[in-house]
Structures are given as structure tokens and as C-alpha cells.
Structure 1
Amino acid sequence: LFRSSKVAMPQMRKYGYDDSLSTASIAAGGTLGILIPPSVILLIYGFLTNTSPGKLFIAGILPGLLGVLLYLVAVKFTIIMRPESGPAGERTGLRDRFVALRGVWAVLLLFFLVIGGLYGALNEWPLPLGLTFSPTEAAGMGATGAFLIALSRGTLTISNTINVLVETAHTTAGLFAVLIGAHVFSNFVNRAGLPEGLLSLVESTGFGPMAVMMVILLVYLVLGCVFESMSMMLLTVPIFFPLVTSLGFDPIWFGIIVVVVIEISLITPPVGLNVFVLKGVVGDVSTATIFKGVTPFWIVDIIRLALLVLIPSIALYLPGQM
């Protein structure tokens, strides 16, 4: 989000977009990265719950695309209500549009290759070239492909390569530290009997499974206002997951629901992390302006969450084909 906002914000201002719409689009759009594969949050959820990361990645595709579609609706609604917020730009032909996509085709091809190979491995059929990947192999293919793309464009010097490797080592070490801590905390929660105690409490209330799920989602929405997304998942999933599965909910579906709620929390006041990151980049735009612009995106996110709860097949259709 930090890097994309530095690139996108000057361009949106150049073409006359209102600061409220510009910052809101960047803040809300930045939430999609934790759902559309590959997702570190989904990977950690899979580790905590012993759920297949590959199936979680595949399950995130349709909800992620639904999020993109609803965000487009939010932008359209904002422009209809306030035409001055997004002035019409110059019309371009198909040829110009294809030329504009020239710089991203390799990345798109890599994405479809990795996800296609992962889907093929889970569904026991290969890509046309006979390629299938496990989640670990898919990560390796993605890293190798990204390296080759950078190499072919001539932007990867020896100095850049060393910096990338060092940064990757730092990120990997941090991720493993998080996973080790999550494993220790999960064992502590189980040994302390918290899931069993919570289940007994729920059974004593007489609430139905869906009512319990509504309470859990409400807890996530409240915690998301004050907790960072990774911390919230590490603290809550070991406690809530045994309860959710004992009530008959699908673990893959619950993982997608949790990530969507975390997405919503990233743009929810008073502590919407994406909003404050963006505020740090665009210092001349007030926090209130960003939150005001984010409101339509927050509303469509709530609609998406409701659709996923009421129609679980949106998240489970693709994994169900495997």
C-alpha cells in the first residue's frame, strides 16, 4: 500500500480526481491483496488450523473478484453522486488499451501459471504443459518467474539482487518467527482448555450455529478497529476455530470469512490501518477525508460479507470441484 499510493496518488491528482475518492480507492483496493492469492494471511490461517493452503488460495479467488466488482460499483456510485470527484478522461481505443497492458502481461501470465498449476495439482489434472504444483512448488515457481521477468527487463542489477535477497531473508525470518509463536500460542490455548470452555458456554446459551457465527463476526469487527490484522488472526483463530468446526461450519469457508472481516477492519475507524498508512504518505489530506471517502467501499464490503455468509458456495465452489 505504501509503495502503490506513492505511485497512484500523483497520477490521480494529475487527472483531476478528488482527494477523497483517490485516497479511498487506494486504501480499499489495498485490502484485496490479503485475499487474492498468494496470501500470507491465508497461509498462516492454514498453518494454524491444519487446512490446505492450496484450497484456501483457490477459495479466495471468487470472493476476491466479487470484492473487485463491488468496489467498481462503489466508485461508480460515488461518481454518480458527486460527478466532480471523478472527471471523465480521454477516450482510448482498443489498440491503446492493449499497448497500456504491455508492461503487465508477463506478471498476469505468471499469476495464471502458478494458480493454474496449483489448481491442477489439487484437482489431479495438469496444465497443457503437464505442470502441476504443490503450494511450496508454486511459491518457488512464482519467485523464479518473477526473477526471470525482472532479468529480462534489464532492471535487475547485482546490487538490486543482493538487496532483494536480503529483504527476502528478513521477511522469511519474520514470518517463521510469527509461525513459531502462533504454534506455541495455539498449544497453550488447547492445553488451557479454552476452546472446550467456550463451546460449553455457547451450548449453555442455547444459541443456534448462525447466531454464534454472527457474534464471532461482530467480535472480529470490533477487534479490527483496534488490532493489527496479523495479531488479530493469531490471537483469535486458535480460540474460535474449534468452536466453529464443532458447529458444523466448513474450515475453508471460515478462513475466507475471517480474511474478509480483516479486510473490512483495515478501513474501519477509528483504527483503520490502511487509512493511517495512506495518511502517512499523503500528509495534506485529512484522516476524516479519507474515512469519508472509504464509506461506500466499507458498505459494499459488508454486503460482500453478508453474501458470503448467506451463500457459502461463493467461497466453496472452486475447492468443491477438486
Structure 2
Amino acid sequence: MTPVAAGLWGIAALFALMALRTPVAFAMLFVGFFGMWALEGERAATALILTESYSAVSGYTLVVVPMFVLLGNVASAAGFSRGLYDAANAWVGRFRGGLASASVIGCAAFSAVSGSSVATAVTLGKVALPEMRRLGYGDGLATGAVAAGGTLGFLIPPSTGFVLYAILTEESIGRLFMAGILPGLLMSALFIAAVWLVVLRRPEIGPRGEAASFAERLRLLARAAPLLAIIVISIGGIYIGAFTPVEASGIGAVLVIALAFASRAMSGAAFRAALLDTLKTSAMLYMIVIGANVLNPFLAVTRIPATLGEGLGGLGLGPYGMLAVIILAYVVMGMFMDGLSMLVISIPIVYPMIVGAGFDPIWFGVVAVIVIEMGMITPPVGLNVFVVRGVAGDVPLTTIFRGIMPFLAAMLLTLLLIIAFPDIALLIPNSMFD
């Protein structure tokens, strides 16, 4: 059997295992180990799994994962998400569709501490959906705004997606975090524009909220200010070079824990639950990294990435034609796979092709994350849709999927703008090192 044929069989086995609901980390471990055994022998496969398992989790940069996960879990347990939503609602809730816009703003702000799409959707959904229902918002607009807003957790730093992309490609975590800021703000603005267009066409599904006085708006903004300050310190500190992303994650986690206890917003039991949830999430992410590090050498030996690159190059599509094919493949994969699985499986294959085509790898990291975000709200899987369905209760899935369509269009527009104007993603990271 040729190496390429072995690689194709390995990829087929990987998808088959995932179809049988094998956790993606163990599916990658299985395929990487036995694939290397088939090609290089038992000794090479055993050495691979031993050395890669250790090196994958012993790197200092991976500490950023549990620290930012802890930061988000503590912020959620302490109820700080409520303060972010209330502040946003006080400023924009009096407009038509204002609560939906406030949900987007709250999701964007909470994304800067959670780094998780699902956590953002669940946390803000519990706060925002009851309020929108109380005021008579249409179910599609309400759930669509929360499901789409939750995807910002995968783009706005500290993004778990960027951390995994950096580990898989050996790119700078700090540069990727900075690259996600302007696209995240752009997408948030386009989500709000989508809300405005929907309620312009159907005003009855986005009634005005209660107007808050200027003093009340300032009071609620001041209540959310400590958490916003932690966000600015963590992300801003990376930008000005005061500390590394790992140091930023530790400083942010310590500050949010101190804030939670100082304000008596979190009990000891809630803190222990946040720690346990952090351990579970971090263990899952570490296993995914180990699995990817075992699978990647096997794919390299099979020459699948190089062969695919040569094949696409032979079609004469050009760099942007190749990019279009890759994006289309992501869209199809997003219909059946969750975001992290797509990332760890695809990046070892497409990254060499992207670099070979002359694209900036930091820029492509943003493009890949946005396309993966789109998969989080597209049928039939749409992980964020199912998460919001669980929070909303009796809202049919078809209603939620219809509700996210304007936001999906906004995400597509964001993607096209970043492809047409790469500086949207590269301006901040490039300015850091110029």
C-alpha cells in the first residue's frame, strides 16, 4: 500500500470513528498510532505516541487554555454576564430590536473573557432570552441573536480556536489574538445591523424596551466596569507588550477571582464548581492537542497535504481558487462536525497548502475561525443552535434556524470583507511588531 493510499484510508477511518461517536481526541490517537504502525512499524508508532503525548502538553504556552477557561467560568459563576447584558440593554434597549442588539453586545463582551462559543451562548441566553420573551420578541429573532452572538466567543480573543490553531501551526498566539479584534468588532456591528434590518421589515417582532435614564445607564455601566477593566488589562496588556498571552491569562484569572470574592458575587461552592468545570474542559482540550500531535506526523508521512496541494495547483485555480475550494470544504464539514474537530483535523492538511499559495497564516487563521463559526449555526448540526434550543425550551429548531439566517448573511459578509481587505485582520498584529 502506498503512503497516500494509507493516508486516505486513515482519513476515512477517522470520519468513521467520529460517526460512531468516538471522541475526536481518541479517534485521532487511534488513526495516528495504527497508521504510523502500518507505515513505519511498531517501534516508530510507540515512540511517536510516547514523545508526542509528553511534548504536546508540556509546552509553557498551553497554560493559556486552563487560565482563560477558568477566567470565563468564574465570570459566569459570579453572574458578571448579567452586568454586561444589563449595561448594554440600558444603552440600546430603548430602540426597536434593542434587546437583541444588547444580546449581541453582551455576547461580544463576554467572549473577551470566556473564549468559548458554547459558554457564551449558554450564559447570555439564560439572561437575555427571558427578557426578550417578556417584551414579546419573536422567537426567531431572540434565539437567532443569542445563537449568532455566541459564535463571537470563537473569534474575539481569548479564543480557544486561536489557541489550538497556534499550537497546530506553531504561529504566535499573541498575534492571532490581536488579529481577531477588528474582525470580531466588525462582525458584532454587522450582527447589530442585521437586527436593525429584520425589525425594520417586521417591527412587531422587536418592540422597544423600557428607556433608562442617563443616570441609570451610567450606574449600570459602572457596575460592569470592573469586568470590562479586566478585559482591557488582559487583552490590552498583550497589545502593548506588557506581558505575554500566558501571563495575560494568569493575570486575568487572578483578577476576576479577586473581583468575584471581593464583591461577594460567588460562594465557595460555586468557585469549586468553576474549578471542576475548568479541569474537565482543559482535560478535553489537552487530549485533543495530544491526538492532533499524534495524527499530524502520520499525515506528514503519507504526504496527503503535499499531494492535495499539488492536485489543486494542477487544476490551475490560482491562490484564490484554492482558497475558495478550502472554504467550501469547511462549509460542508461544518454541517456535520463541531468547530474544534474541524480545526484539529483540517489544519494539518490545509495549512501547508495555504502557506504554499502565499497567504498570510495569521490572516488565514481568522478566515478559518470565521468559517468554522458559520458551521456552529448552520443545519443540520449547528451546535450553538442546539445549545440555545436547550436554554429556550419550547422553541422549535426550525424557528431558530430561520432566525439565524440574517446573522449567517452578516458572517458571510464579514468573511468576504476580510478576504477582500486582509488588513482588517492584520492591521493590529502587524502594528505590534513594526
TM-score (norm 1): 0.94
Q: Structure 2 matches for 1:56-71, cutoff 5 A? A: 56-71=176-191
Partner in structure 1 of residue 299 of structure 2: 189
Shift of 1:186: 1.5
Partner in structure 2 of residue 52 of structure 1: 172
User: Which of the residues 265, 270, 274 maps onto 1:155?
Assistant: 265
Shift of 1:42: 0.5
| Distance in 1 of aligned mates of 2:387 and 2:220 | 29
Give aligned pairs, total. Answer: 312
| Distance in 1 of aligned mates of 2:397 and 2:267 | 39
Shift of 1:277: 1.5
Partner in structure 2 of residue 37 of structure 1: 157
Shift of 1:166: 2.3
User: Which of the residues 330, 349, 371 maps onto 1:239?
Assistant: 349
User: Which of the residues 276, 281, 284 maps onto 1:166?
Assistant: 276
| Distance in 2 of aligned mates of 1:298 and 1:15 | 25
Partner in structure 2 of residue 178 of structure 1: 288
Q: 1:159 to 1:88 in 2, by over 3 A?
A: closer
Q: Deviations over 1:171-221 (max 9, x none)?
A: 222221111111111222112111111121122211100010011001101
Q: Deviations over 1:24-73 (max 9, x none)?
A: 11111000011001011100000000000000000000000001100010
1:118 equivalent in alignment to 2:238: yes
1:5 equivalent in alignment to 2:122: no
**Aligned-partner SS, 1:248:** coil
Partner in structure 2 of residue 124 of structure 1: none
| Distance in 2 of aligned mates of 1:291 and 1:134 | 39
Shift of 1:288: 1.1
Partner in structure 1 of residue 20 of structure 2: none
| Distance in 2 of aligned mates of 1:196 and 1:38 | 32
Shift of 1:90: 2.6
Letter in 2 for 1:57: F
| Distance in 1 of aligned mates of 2:289 and 2:214 | 47
Partner in structure 2 of residue 261 of structure 1: 371
Partner in structure 2 of residue 129 of structure 1: none
Moved more, 8-17 or 235-244: 8-17
| Distance in 2 of aligned mates of 1:81 and 1:206 | 44
Q: Deviations over 1:112-149 (max 9, x none)?
A: 0011111111xxxxxxxxxx111111110111011111
Letter in 1 for 2:374: I
| Distance in 1 of aligned mates of 2:334 and 2:213 | 43
| Distance in 2 of aligned mates of 1:203 and 1:34 | 31
Q: Deviations over 1:85-131 (max 9, x none)?
A: 1111232232221112233211110010011111111xxxxxxxxxx
Letter in 2 for 1:36: I
Letter in 2 for 1:34: F
Partner in structure 2 of residue 199 of structure 1: 309
Moved more, 6-15 or 56-65: 6-15
| Distance in 1 of aligned mates of 2:277 and 2:211 | 41
| Distance in 2 of aligned mates of 1:9 and 1:302 | 25
1:85 equivalent in alignment to 2:205: yes
| Distance in 2 of aligned mates of 1:188 and 1:108 | 44
Moved more, 239-248 or 145-154: 145-154
| Distance in 1 of aligned mates of 2:122 and 2:231 | 22
User: Which of the residues 186, 193, 197 maps onto 1:73?
Assistant: 193
Q: Give the aligned CA root-mean-square deviation in angstroms.
A: 1.2
TM-score (norm 2): 0.70
| Distance in 2 of aligned mates of 1:292 and 1:225 | 16
Q: Deviations over 1:225-278 (max 9, x none)?
A: 111111011110000000000000000000000000011111112221111121
Letter in 2 for 1:156: M
**Aligned-partner SS, 1:133:** coil
User: Which of the residues 248, 266, 276 maps onto 1:138?
Assistant: 248
| Distance in 1 of aligned mates of 2:215 and 2:335 | 45
Letter in 2 for 1:238: P
Identity %: 42
**Aligned-partner SS, 1:155:** coil
| Distance in 2 of aligned mates of 1:311 and 1:162 | 45
Letter in 2 for 1:217: I
Shift of 1:286: 1.0
User: Which of the residues 222, 234, 237 maps onto 2:332?
Assistant: 222
**Aligned-partner SS, 2:369:** helix
| Distance in 1 of aligned mates of 2:313 and 2:222 | 57
**Aligned-partner SS, 2:240:** helix
Partner in structure 2 of residue 18 of structure 1: 138
| Distance in 2 of aligned mates of 1:6 and 1:217 | 33
Show structure 2 runs of 5+ residues with no match: 1-120
Show structure 1 runs of 5+ residues with no match: 122-131
1:99 equivalent in alignment to 2:209: no
| Distance in 2 of aligned mates of 1:242 and 1:289 | 40
Letter in 2 for 1:116: G
Report runs of 4+ in structure 1 exceeding 3 Å deviation. Answer: none
Letter in 1 for 2:135: Y
